[in-house]
Amino acid sequence: MVREAAGELHGYLEEEFDDDLRSVGYYTPEESEFLFTRDDVESAYDCGDLQRVFRDNRLEALDTPHQESLYAHGRLLATTRFFEDATELHFVVGETQGIAAAIDAGAADDVRELVSACADVVDVGIE
């Protein structure tokens, strides 16, 4: 289910951002996998680095109910991190599962619109 939603998101982001798409991956309690990683991005990480990224995402997913209880803003759609070279998006789709994606810094003019569009794509495959 999450893998399929990640595949849908990959297709959407690839169409929208082409060469500015850096990576798309997903995690569940049983597995984690990057469906796409651009060559230059992949060469910057080793397997252990990638697993630590997924571990961090899992911990963030576990904290989502707490975050939602702190803020009277409705459901948490995503978290976004802005780095010098990239914008990271993390969509929590369950207590222990989610989807992560990254695009080049500056590739999206309206990040709120991007998050909303991606959340719509991700929700297609999630019951």
Q: Spell out the domain ranges in the chain.
A: 2-124
Q: What is the pLDDT of residue 127?
A: 40
pTM over 0.85: yes
pLDDT digits (tens, 9 = 90+) for 80-118: 999 999 999 999 998 889 999 999 999 999 999 999 999
pLDDT tens figures, 33-51: 999 999 999 999 998 999 9
CATH class held by domain 2-124 = alpha beta
Query: Among candidates 84, 120, 116, 81, which has minimal Cα distance to 101?
Result: 81
At residue 36, the pLDDT reads 98
Strand partners, 115: none
